[in-house]
């Protein structure tokens, strides 16, 4: 483990390493695994230029989404949501990724961070909370654990998720056009007008080419198996994301800014866009109640 200012480096011997910026939204910047003949290979898209632009356009690493995923809109007010007769402003994907997280514990291969409510968070989100995130390397796999606690005296609504940016291709020897995502059978989400409602249709198991345009975001739910992989056959590597330990993350958002960009996103979420206006997917914690989720990420040879 090495800590330098806003950066924390975790290591598991010479097998894997991780770079995290707690004060930049608890941002997981890099996760890399060492392979013979290849050296360290990044499983997350990294760009120092993107980091230098923080908190704008965080197209790298893995930003944390809380207390809302995606956006919410009212008739004449973008990025606002209604609750108990009041209207509050809340930016896209919430404020966690733009907040300073406090480091609670650091070990050689593990870090624990926490975000709690402040006067600044209670203005757009009038609830008392404690959000804990742990990152840990184990057998070259990166494990993510999240615990959210309602520290207030009333029911606390929220949604949460992660937003990993995967590199395409995975190495410079690969080709973006040959990369694909292994997706299980699922239900595809079909949004109604302005996301005021949604329905589903059958989605068969498939290999989805990353060359296919998903800039409008493809949403899946009810996945036969809560695990997906990004495969780079030329590089001979795959990146696997499993959210079996996060059963409340019922949705998978699949997005890339364009078919040419060097990143591709597979995002487990607990809700869909505009969830505070529908309130059908919102998670609700009673006072003192806790929410827990566990997700893991691994880069390996095909």
In three-state secondary structure terms, 291 is: strand
Report if pTM > 0.85: yes
Q: What is the pLDDT of residue 57?
A: 87
Average pLDDT for residues 290-294, to the nearest whole number?
98
Binned at pLDDT 50, 70 and 90, residue 3 comes out as very low
Element (H, E) at 276: helix 275-278
* Tokens found for residue 41: 């290979």
pLDDT, tens digit, 9 for 90 and up, residues 221-262: 999 999 999 999 999 999 999 999 999 999 999 999 999 999
pLDDT, tens digit, 9 for 90 and up, residues 126-164: 999 999 999 999 999 999 999 999 999 999 999 999 999
Q: What is the pLDDT of residue 75?
A: 82
> 160 versus 5: which is more confidently predicted?
160
Average pLDDT for residues 119-131, to the nearest whole number?
97
pLDDT, tens digit, 9 for 90 and up, residues 55-102: 988 999 999 999 999 999 888 788 999 999 999 999 999 999 999 999
- Cα angle value 71/215/248 (rounded, 5°): 50
Instruction: Give 249: exposed, middle or buried? Use CB within 10 Å, 0-12, 13-18, 19+.
Output: buried
Strand intervals (E) in 204-278: 206-209, 218-221, 227-232, 237-245, 251-255, 263-269
* Tokens found for residue 182: 């292994």
Measured CA to CA, the distance from residue 236 to residue 233 in angstroms comes to: 5
* Tokens found for residue 210: 């990353």
Task: For 78-108, give one letter per residue: b (16+ CB within 10 A) or e.
Answer: eebbeeeeeebebeebbbbbbbebeeeebee
* Tokens found for residue 161: 């998720």
Average pLDDT, the chain: 96
């Amino acid at each position: 483990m090495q800590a330098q200012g806003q950066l924390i480096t975790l290591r598991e011997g010479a097998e894997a390493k991780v770079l995290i910026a707690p004060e930049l939204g608890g941002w997981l910047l890099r996760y890399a695994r060492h392979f013979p003949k290849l050296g360290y290979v990044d499983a997350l898209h990294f760009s120092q230029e993107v980091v230098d632009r923080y908190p704008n356009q965080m197209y790298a690493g893995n930003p944390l989404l809380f207390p809302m995923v995606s956006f919410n809109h009212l008739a004449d007010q973008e990025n606002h949501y209604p609750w108990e007769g009041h209207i509050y402003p809340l930016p896209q994907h919430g404020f966690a990724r733009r907040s300073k997280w406090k480091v609670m514990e650091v070990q050689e291969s593990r870090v624990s961070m926490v975000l709690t409510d402040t006067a600044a968070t209670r203005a757009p989100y009038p609830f008392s909370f404690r959000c804990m995130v742990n990152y840990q390397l184990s057998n070259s796999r990166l494990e993510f654990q999240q615990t959210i606690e309602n520290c207030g005296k009333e029911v606390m609504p929220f949604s949460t998720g992660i937003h990993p940016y995967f590199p395409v291709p995975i190495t410079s020897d690969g080709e973006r056009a040959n990369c694909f995502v292994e997706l299980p059978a699922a239900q595809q989400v079909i949004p109604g007008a302005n996301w005021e409602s949604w329905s589903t249709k059958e989605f068969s198991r498939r290999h989805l080419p990353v060359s296919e345009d998903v800039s409008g975001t493809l949403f899946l739910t009810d996945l036969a198996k809560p695990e997906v992989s990004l495969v780079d056959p030329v590089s001979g590597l795959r990146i696997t994301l499993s959210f079996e330990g996060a059963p409340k993350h019922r949705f998978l958002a699949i997005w890339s800014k364009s078919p040419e960009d060097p990143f591709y996103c597979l995002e487990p979420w607990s809700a869909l866009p505009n969830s505070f206006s529908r309130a059908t997917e919102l998670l609700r914690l009673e006072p003192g109640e806790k929410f827990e989720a566990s997700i893991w990420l691994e880069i390996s040879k095909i």
